[in-house]
Each structure stands twice: as structure tokens, then as C-alpha cells.
Amino acid sequence: MRDRSQAAARQYARALVGLAEQRGGDEPLRLRGELRQLGTLVERHPELRAALEHPGVDPESRRRVLVAIAESGGASELLTRLVGLLGTRDHVHLLPAIAEIYAALVNASRGIVPAEVMGAVPLTQKQERALAEALKGTTGGELELTAKVDPRVLGGLRVTMGGKTYDGTVRGRLAALRRTLASGS
């Protein structure tokens, strides 16, 4: 993303954090989830994104479509106002970046440590809870676990948390074994 777009996304995210914090309670966390859902929706549907970003679509029509999407998903008033603003200002493309920056700001302000877990198959809820409990002691705060599936992993798990990656995958262990054997000969 261009520097100017990144700066604009950061401004929107900071303003949104301020508004959500003013409302108090769990509003910042609830809005974080809503933003992620809408950002993912726009990213996963290139046709929708192309239509929303098309220069032939007037800002008012873009705003109405975005507001209708947000309202149909049960979005909060804050998110509905944000997407309306993004639509009228032709900033729809910033939505995924705003969601990412907003989540990072809210997590940092609340001491929440994000952790991404990559495995070959989906984790069960019981496995996710056990892993979150095991990792919780290493974070010093609350843990936000995101589990993803990548069949190329083959087996095991790779956890990325706090800027560090812990690779317990079959591929990672084989690579470590290969390095150990190569250094010993």
C-alpha cells in the first residue's frame, strides 16, 4: 500500500479507536470484529470491490451500497457511519488496512497479544482452547488466537506471536534436522 494510503488508513483507525473508547465497555472489541468481517468480505469478493471502486459509480450510490451491506450484517452505528464516509470519499480500498491497523491499536491498548496458528487441518475448539491456555503464560496478557489451515504444512503447528515464530511443523523439524546433520559433517 502506498505511504499516503497507509497514512490515511492510520488516521481513520485512530479516529475510530477514539470514538469507540468514548462509548466505553466492549465497543472497541466489538467494532474490531465487525471491521474484520467487513474487510474480509470486501477482500474475498473482488467483483464487489471492483464495483465499489469503479470510477463510474457516483459517491452517493457507493455510500448507499456500503451502508446497506453494513446494515444487513447487523453492523454498529459506528461502522455504518465509517463505511458511508469511506464510500463518499472514494476510500473503500482502505477498509482492509483500517481493519488491520484498528485491531493492532485496540490490542495494544488492552494488552492483547495476537497469535496466529497454522496447521494442516482445522483445530477443534478443544484444541484451540488448550493451545491458547498453553500460550497464555508466555504472553503476560490476554491472547487472541487466530487459527489458519495450510495443507502444505503436512503436520504439526507453526505459531507466530509477538514477532517470533515457533515452528513445530513436520517440515520445520525436518529442516532443523537437516541443518543439524549438515553442521555435524
Task: Please state, in angstroms and rounded to a whole number, the distance separating the CA atoms of residues 10 and 16.
Answer: 10
How does pLDDT run across 121-178, given as a tens digit for each residue?
888 999 888 888 888 767 667 888 888 898 888 888 888 887 788 888 888 888 888 8
Q: What is the DSSP letter of 151?
A: G
For residue 171, the model assigns a pLDDT of: 83
User: pLDDT tens, 102-124?
Assistant: 999 998 888 888 888 899 888 89
Contact predicate 19/32, CB 8 Å: no
Contact 42, 52 (CB under 8 A): yes
Q: Residue 34's closest CA among 69, 6, 85? A: 69
CA gap 90, 69 in Å, rounded: 16
The C-alpha atoms of residue 147 and residue 161 are separated, in whole angstroms, by: 12
Question: What domains lie within the chain, and their CATH numbers?
Answer: 3-108 (1.10.520.20), 112-184 (3.40.30)
* pLDDT (average), residues 45-51: 85
Please check whether residue 37 is in contact with residue 94, taking contact to mean a CB–CB distance below 8 angstroms. no
- Encode pLDDT of 4-26 as tens digits: 888 999 999 999 999 999 998 88
